[in-house]
């Protein structure tokens, strides 16, 4: 079945540590890729997206993600996390010419001050 | 801010009762979606709409129905609520004309508890 997998359920880091959250998908066609963030008590907001072109995309708040087509992956990175990055992060995939956006189960990030 | 409001924001109901959640947008976007969010499952698409009276099922549509009689309103109905439908429900819109071309903007969520 087509799916989106996020490898880590809960990640705990200290401030200034580097972050990498994994995301893999199993769709075989052309895809659009997204990372969303949900801060405590809030709704989801877009961090970054990839449609085509440069596989390394930059988003808000210093986040970036790399699309590796051969690995069906779209990992999220940040060189140095802050306490304010504490949130839940969702990877999402949308098939080209399809209105169905599929989300991963989410990774909860806790950043210790 | 995409002008999305959901109501009610919180509701507690009993098994077997009907429940309707409302999503209202102020900017006449064509595409609207209903998701449910559950721990360990992320967000799962229930139904979506691509215009007035045009709707389609998502991956977890059983037990839910939707209606869209006006561009600005997208209603989600649980005909007979069950405890498995206890969840947080998010409405979303796509501003770029379809999920395939743009990002989703979400409402604040409606927390439903079915006892």
Task: Write out chain B residues lying below 8 Å of A102, CB-based.
Answer: 45, 59
Q: State the Cα–Cα distance between residues B93 and B49, nearest whole angstrom.
A: 9
Chain A residue with minimal CA distance to B38?
A: A105
The pLDDT tens digits of the residues spanning B11-66 come to 999 999 999 999 999 988 888 999 999 988 889 999 999 889 999 998 899 999 99
Which of A30, A28, A32, A21 is closest to A1 using CA atoms?
Answer: A28
What is the pLDDT confidence band of residue A52, given thresholds at 50, 70 and 90?
confident
Instruction: Mention every residue, 6+ apart, whose C-beta is less than 8 A from residue B46.
Output: B34, B35, B36, B58, B60, B61, B64, B66, B76, B89
Q: What DSSP designation does A62 have?
A: G
Nearest to A49 among B33, B103, B106 (CB): B103
What is the pLDDT confidence band of residue B88, given thresholds at 50, 70 and 90?
very high
Nearest to A32 among B35, B58, B100 (CB): B100
**Is B108 near chain A, with CB under 8 Å?**
yes
The pLDDT tens digits of the residues spanning B66-78 come to 999 999 999 999 9
Instruction: Mention every residue, 6+ apart, whose C-beta is less than 8 A from residue B53.
Output: B68, B69
The pLDDT tens digits of the residues spanning B28-37 come to 888 899 999 9
Q: State the Cα–Cα distance between residues A109 and A11, nearest whole angstrom.
A: 5
A102 with B59: Cβ contact below 8 A: yes
The pLDDT tens digits of the residues spanning A53-109 come to 999 999 999 999 999 999 999 999 999 999 999 999 999 998 766 667 889 999 999
A99 with B109: Cβ contact below 8 A: no
A66 touches B4 (CB < 8 A): no
Nearest to B103 among A9, A46, A105 (CB): A46
What is the pLDDT confidence band of residue B109, given thresholds at 50, 70 and 90?
very high
Q: What is the pLDDT of residue B47?
A: 94
Residue B97 has pLDDT above 60, yes or no: no
Q: What is the pLDDT of residue A96?
A: 64
**Is A52 near chain B, with CB under 8 Å?**
no
Chain B residue with minimal CA distance to A42?
A: B108
**Is B95 near chain A, with CB under 8 Å?**
no
């Amino acid at each position: 079945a087509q799916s989106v997998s996020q490898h880590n359920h809960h990640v705990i880091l200290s401030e200034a540590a580097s972050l990498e959250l994994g995301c893999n998908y199993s769709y075989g066609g052309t895809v659009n890729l997204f990372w969303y963030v949900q801060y405590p008590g809030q709704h989801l907001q877009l961090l970054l997206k990839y449609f085509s072109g440069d596989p390394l995309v930059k988003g808000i708040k210093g986040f970036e993600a790399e699309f590796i087509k051969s690995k069906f992956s779209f990992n999220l990175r940040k060189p140095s996390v802050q306490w304010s990055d504490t949130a839940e992060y969702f990877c999402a995939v949308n098939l080209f010419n399809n209105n169905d956006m599929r989300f991963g189960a989410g990774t909860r990030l806790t950043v210790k001050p | 801010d995409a002008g999305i409001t959901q109501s009610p924001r919180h509701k507690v109901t009993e098994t077997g009762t009907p429940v309707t959640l409302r999503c209202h947008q102020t900017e006449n976007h064509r595409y609207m979606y209903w998701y449910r969010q559950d721990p360990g499952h992320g967000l799962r698409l229930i139904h979506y709409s691509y215009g007035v009276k045009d709707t389609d099922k998502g991956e977890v549509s059983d037990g839910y129905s939707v209606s869209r009689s006006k561009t600005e309103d997208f209603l989600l109905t649980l005909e007979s609520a069950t405890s498995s439908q206890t969840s947080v429900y998010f409405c979303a819109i796509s501003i770029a004309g379809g999920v395939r071309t743009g990002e989703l903007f979400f409402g604040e969520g409606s927390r439903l508890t079915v006892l």
